[in-house]
Structures are given as C-alpha cells and as structure tokens.
Amino acid sequence: MPDFQKLDTTIPVAPLKLVVMDSARELGDRINTDLIDIRKHKHHMPKDEITFKGYLQEDYRLKFSTDRFDSGEAKATLLESARGQDIYLITDVMNHSISYQMYGFTNYKSPDDHYQDMKRVIGAIAGIAKRINIIMPFMYESRQHKRSGRESLDCAVMIRELKDMGIANFITFDAHDPRVANSAPLGGFDSFLASYQFLKALLYNIDDLIVDKEHLTVISPDEGALDRAVYFANVLGADTGMFYKRRDYSRIVGGSNPIVAHEFLGSDIAGKDVIIIDDMISSGGSMIDTARQLKHMKAKRVFICA
C-alpha cells in the first residue's frame, strides 16, 4: 500500500504513462490495474488543478507497436502521443517465450533482442516525453560489469547508452554489482534489494525456523555475494560464512574459467539451518555444489534465496 501522506504533498512531474513491453506484459498489466484502483478508489487528488491534469485515467498504458520485417529487423511505432508524459517503460529482458518470424523460421527473443526493442521504443519517445524512466527487474548484461583481460564492458555501455538516449532514471532489483552506476554518475539509478521478500517467504512458510546465531547461518556461495550475505545475517542476527571458488585460470569453458572446487570459510554449521543467498542462478551448478557440500558438513537444512 502506498504512503498516501507522501502523495498528498507531492506534485506529479507530468501525466503518467506506462510503456509495457511484450516481455513484461503480465507485470505491466498488474501495475496498471493497481494504479487505476488506487487513484480512483483509494486516494483522491484535486481534479481541477492544472498540476494534476491526467492524474485520473481509464488506462495508463501507452499504445505502441514493435513490428518485425521478414529480415528480422524491427521498428517501434507510437499509436498515441507521448508528448509531455512521465513515461515508465517496463521490460523483462530474460523472457525467452516471445517469438518472431525471420526468413520463414521461428526465432525466440534473446536478451539482446529485448534490449534492442526497448531502445527502439525509447528512440520513438525521446525528445517528446517529459521524462523517461526504465524499470528492468533483471539488469541486462549485469554479469558483464567488470573487465577481465580483453573483454567488453557491456553493462556499463548499456547504462551509458541509455543515459545518452535521454532516460532520467534506471530502476532494477538486486543488480549483480550496483557500482556499475558509476558509468553514468549524474543519472538516477536504483537497485532495490529483495531481502524483505526473502525474509517474508521464509518466515511465512517455515514454521520451525529459529532465527539466531546458534541455529542459523547465512552463506554466500562466492565472494561476489558476500555483501548480501553479511547484510542478511545482520538483519537476522545470524552467523555468516562464505565459499570461494577455486578456478582453473589456464582454460576458458563457456565464456569463463571453470570452477575446480568450492572452499568454505566460516564457523561450524553442523546441526544448523543454512540460507544461501545470491543475486541470480544461472546454470544452478554452483548452488547445487554449495548445497551438497553444506549437507556433507552436517547442515540441518539448506534454503536457497536468489
């Protein structure tokens, strides 16, 4: 439920519009429904004041299309004006269920395809809208946030590119490394942690979970997730530990150096419940290896939050 007291003292930047990409249709529709319900039935603002023009709408979704040519190329077309609107564009770059036809074959959209479609829509809106805000729950190319050897810095390039296109704010959830915001330090960047949702799910569903240092340990599966584990452990008042990955730096398999072993750093976990926390699960191999090793170390139960 929103804080209505803050809403009462806030003037809208401009009339709100949602740009819901096909990849985030379900999420965008739910946001639109909640906005209509809140603004029509749960919270009322002055209707006649010019500063609240467009506050009440029958539908906050902006109509547009992203059409594909037979060659696989595409274009974005606005089906209504976005002039002077406060735009919130919502996309899910990891949705692999969206398909299109190219040369008679069915192709499923990759994160690259979703990102290009988003840029097409921004290109159609930029210079017209009052403000453009991006909501991207999973941050595109977030794992490519630093350079190892002669690699590309795709995540930083993405942030910089969007800022150059005129977006005002970028909103994501639990970015792999939020320091990537340094690539465009003067723009708005928010990375919201999912710690509350993890806690709520655990405490609501695990009735016999005892939260203290004697019964619970929060584990980071690698050094990159240590900050999350420490924060989670401090909130719960639990113990913490971590694994570090020993890698074979003489080989590259699947774009990265293969993991030789997971080594544990921390206190004895025998008989304790263990929470493994990370920002994402890719293949799941590291999580399975970590959980298996924790069970070999006599952990009571292992919960995975990612």
Tens digit of each residue's pLDDT (9 = 90 or more) over 33-79: 999 998 888 777 776 777 788 888 999 999 999 999 988 899 999 99
Check if the beta carbon of residue 138 is closer than 8 Å to that of residue 23: no
Q: Give the C-alpha separation, 254 to 252, whole Å.
A: 7
């996309």: which residue's tokens?
91
Structure tokens at 71: 């060659």
| Residue 305 banded pLDDT, cuts 50, 70, 90 | confident
Structure tokens at 4: 């209505």
Instruction: Give the rounded percent of residues in the chain with a pLDDT score beyond 90.
Output: 44
**CATH topology of 4-138 equal to that of 195-305?**
yes
CA torsion angle for 121, 126, 129, 135 (degrees, to 10)? 50
Longest dimension (CA), the chain: 69
Backbone angles phi, psi at 28, to 5 degrees: -65, -40
Check if the beta carbon of residue 248 is closer than 8 Å to that of residue 256: no
**Residue 243 pLDDT:** 84
Q: Give the C-alpha separation, 301 to 222, whole Å.
A: 19
Domain ranges of the chain: 4-138, 195-305
Alpha carbon distance, N-terminus to C-terminus of the chain: 25
Tens digit of each residue's pLDDT (9 = 90 or more) over 76-111: 999 999 999 999 999 999 999 999 999 889 999 999
Amino acid at 226: L
Q: Which CATH architecture has domain 195-305?
A: 3-Layer(aba) Sandwich (3.40)
> Which DSSP category does 217 fall into?
E
Give the global pTM.
0.85
Alpha helix (H) ranges present in 148-270? 154-164, 195-205, 226-236
> Which DSSP category does 256 fall into?
B
Please give the mean pLDDT across all residues of the chain: 88
Topology annotation, domain 4-138: Rossmann fold (3.40.50)
Reduced to 3 states, what is the DSSP secondary structure of residue 143?
A: coil
